[in-house]
Amino acid sequence: MLFLLTTLVNSFDFSLHKSISIFLISFFSNTFSAVSGGGAGLLQLPALILSGVPYYQALASHKFATVALGLGGSFRNYKSLKNDIYIAWQILIFGLPGVIIGASIVEFISEQYLYLFLGIFSILLSFYSFFKSDLGLSSGNNELNLIHKIRFLILIFLIGILNGSISSGTGLLVTILLIRTFEMDFLRAISLTFFTVGIFWNFTGAIFLSKIGSVPPNILLLLIVGSFTGGYFGAHLSRLKGNTLIKNTFTIVCFFVGMSLFIKSIISFL
């Protein structure tokens, strides 16, 4: 790993201190994301922007990196996906068009309103998780009627639009939607979120966003390495510690993602 970082620095004339800082931020933010089911953008995206990367390039870089997070988490939890392939196909078929739409209109919409909505919703979601003590701690197989199926697919499409245009929080939304809709536990829901949102949604969004501006290769490689290793380590940790740790981490990450988006929205209105 150190050799890779050193080679990267020499190749792209990037400061060693900044390289290590971005790698560590990526590793730890994606570790928490792997345990909670989302929220990597809480630290990773602001760190890129503060490093001087323009917003759209930072967002595209972040999404490419979260593909590595999805691969790392899925590689560790691939056995959990076997019984949910049908649900995964639904998330991909109805979510990917939303991602494409979101990534296509991101230049033309006011992000501050999306940040405000998603921030408030994430905060409420954290309180809901905190006060509902049994949420996601056991797994069932809820059979859906037609109305519930349609509602699930519509919500997946809408979350896909948010995923294409905003960096933080959409993985958390898919995770909680799977838990509420199918009575999954956190580990099962997060495994499915990583496979669908982490890999396919984010890769699709990254491709469309990268057309707006080039993605810095030096930063991207650091993020990919940090995201993959953080995702694998977080998934391994969640399997060792179980759903209680995942639920607690989900609640904390959800709250701080919500506060971050809410504050960002309020500042943009001033």
pLDDT at 107: 67
Question: What kind and span of H or E run contains 100?
Answer: helix 85-105
156-205 pLDDT, tens per residue?
999 998 888 776 678 888 988 998 898 888 888 888 988 898 889 988 88
82-108 pLDDT, tens per residue?
778 899 999 999 999 999 888 787 667
Distance CA 59, CA 45 (A): 7
Question: How far, in whole angstroms, is CA 9 from its chain's centroid?
Answer: 27
What burial class does residue 112 get, using C-beta atoms within 10 Å of its C-beta: 0-12 exposed, 13-18 middle, 19+ buried? middle
* Alpha helix stretches (DSSP H) within the chain: 2-12, 16-36, 41-50, 55-77, 85-105, 111-131, 146-165, 170-182, 186-193, 202-210, 217-241, 243-269
The DSSP code for 51 is T
Distance CA 67, CA 43 (A): 16
pLDDT at 3: 43
190-247 pLDDT, tens per residue?
889 888 988 899 888 878 777 766 666 777 888 888 888 888 888 778 777 777 777 8
pLDDT band, residue 13 (cuts 50/70/90) = very low
pLDDT at 94: 95
